[in-house]
Structures are given as C-alpha cells and as structure tokens.
Structure 1
Amino acid sequence: MLNPNVVVKNIVNQDQVNTIVSTLARVLVAYIFIVAGYGKISGYETTAGYMEAMGVPSALLPLTILVELGGGLALLLGFQTRFAAFGLAVFSLITAFIFHGGAEDAINLMKNLSIAGGLFFVMLHGAGKLSIDHLIEK
C-alpha cells in the first residue's frame, strides 16, 4: 500500500522542490512581520498609545519595529535565518500573551502561537539553498 507521507517526502527531498518550498515558507512567514513592522512606523503614535494601554512602555516601540521589520527582512533574505527565526518566535510568544491573552482575542493568540511554531521549525531547518546564509556558508 502506498504511504502518502513517503510520497510527499520523496517529492520534497528533490533538490529543486526543496529549494522552492523552503524559500516560499520563509517568504510567507516573513511577510507578516515586514508588514507589521512597517505599519508600526506609519502608525507610530497609534501603536505607541496601544502599547501604553496594554501596560507596555511605548519606549519599546523602536525595538519592536526593529525586531519585526529587521527580523522579517532577515528571514525574507535568508540572512542569519536561524537566529532571526528564533528571535521572532520568542517575540511572537511574548506578544501573544501580552496583547492577545484574553478570551476575546483567542484567534490572535492562536495565530501567534502557530507562527512561533513555524518559526521554531525554520530555526531547526535553516534557510535553504536560495538564501544569503547558503551563500556565506560555502
């Protein structure tokens, strides 16, 4: 009997497929952080007010932007990918419980937890071949 898990494994273990899938995965995960980081720049005062309302000092907003935008770009380009993925995963967990811990925001809590899980997976497996990391590791 044909095992679908083995079939998928055999497909993704092909060099070209692995390169495409790992790149696509990085781009998709990076997208939310790049957009969120940029949004915090364009809506700086609003974000600062929201942070204060949640008990987080708005003085941390520049660091937040650096983590989201910088980490997202690093992930997108595959630069220091394992480090960026780990940092963004921890950031996602922290923000999940600070900003989305209430029952009325359970979907965003689950979103952040899921993103952290995906980022830990990227941390374990690296950027793939189409990345700056791959170029400098040679």
Structure 2
Amino acid sequence: MGVLVPLARLLFSAIFITSGLNHFIQLDALTTVAQNAGVPEPRWAVLVSGAALVLGGLSVLLGVLARLGAAAIAIFLVTAAFMVHRFWLVADPVQAQDQLIHFMKNLSMAGGALFIVYFGSGPFSLRRGGRQESGLGGGRLGSPLRH
C-alpha cells in the first residue's frame, strides 16, 4: 500500500507541472486571458504563477519541501478561481457552467493541496535525512482511527 502515496503525488502534481510549463509556452495567450480577467500586471502574474506551478508540482512529486509547494499550488488555485473563473459574471449559461466547473475544480484541487500541507509528502520522498515531514499541528499519515 505504500506505493499509493508516491503514485498519488505523481497524479496530483502532473497537471501543475504541465500547466506551469504551458504558462511559459503560451505566455502571450495566457497574458491576454489574465488581462481580460482584470488580473493586475497580467504578464508578470502569468510568469510568477507558471513558476509557482512548476516548482510546486516538482516539490510535491519529489517530496522535497512538499508542504511549501502544495501551499503555493493552493494559493494559485484559490486566486485563479476567484479572479479568472468568475462564473457569476457570465451571461451565457453554457459559458457560465463551464466557468463554474473550472471554479469548483480549482477549489477541489486546493483542498487536496491543503491535505499535503497538513500531512506532508509521505513515504518515498527525496527529503533531507529521509525523515518524514512532521505534520503541522500534529498531523500524520496513517489511519485516522489511531488519533
């Protein structure tokens, strides 16, 4: 069962690493999207968020500073949800539904990132000394029945 944690880190981080790289590959297009959404300093916002996604995704994947990386991902996701996916402002019902799906997806993934912030990276991490990250506030991996 121990292999589930690194598999989960891989599956969770893949979208952030690829999306972050896409921020650089599609810089002009994403800058236009950010500008149209009213994001201040849209080009810088795309560059900084791209770096946060790539570095955050890699840190979660490798288990190195995973809490910090997951926190950066969570901040990005919540910010993007409220700044870019404002479904409540969209008049067309089809487009509003699409934005609602993106909004809820971001909040859901932010919740997953916060689990990593709390519990840490888990087994098979490339962290210094091979010790498991201790939980913030006492969180730990394992059965909740043991608490």
Superposed, 1:1-138 pairs within 5 Å as 17=1, 19-56=2-39, 57=41, 58-103=43-88, 104=96, 105-133=99-127, 135-137=129-131
Aligned counterparts of 2:129 and 2:47: Cα–Cα separation in 1: 30
Where do 5+ consecutive residues of structure 2 fail to align? Answer: 89-95, 133-147
TM-score (norm 2): 0.76
Instruction: Report if aligned partners of 1:92, 1:113 keep a CA contact under 8 Å in 2.
Output: yes
Q: Percent identity?
A: 30
Shift of 1:22: 1.2
Q: Which has the higher helix share?
A: 1
What is the CA-CA distance between 1:94 and the residue it aligns to?
0.9
Cα distance in 2 for partners of 1:25, 1:31 equals 10
Equivalent residue number for residue 142 of structure 2: none
Q: Higher relative contact order by CA 8 Å / sep ≥ 6: 1 or 2?
A: 1
SS of 1:39's equivalent? helix
Q: Could you say what the CA RMSD is over the residues aligned between the two structures, in angstroms?
A: 1.6
2-structure distance, mates of 1:70, 1:97: 22
Counterpart position of 1:12: none
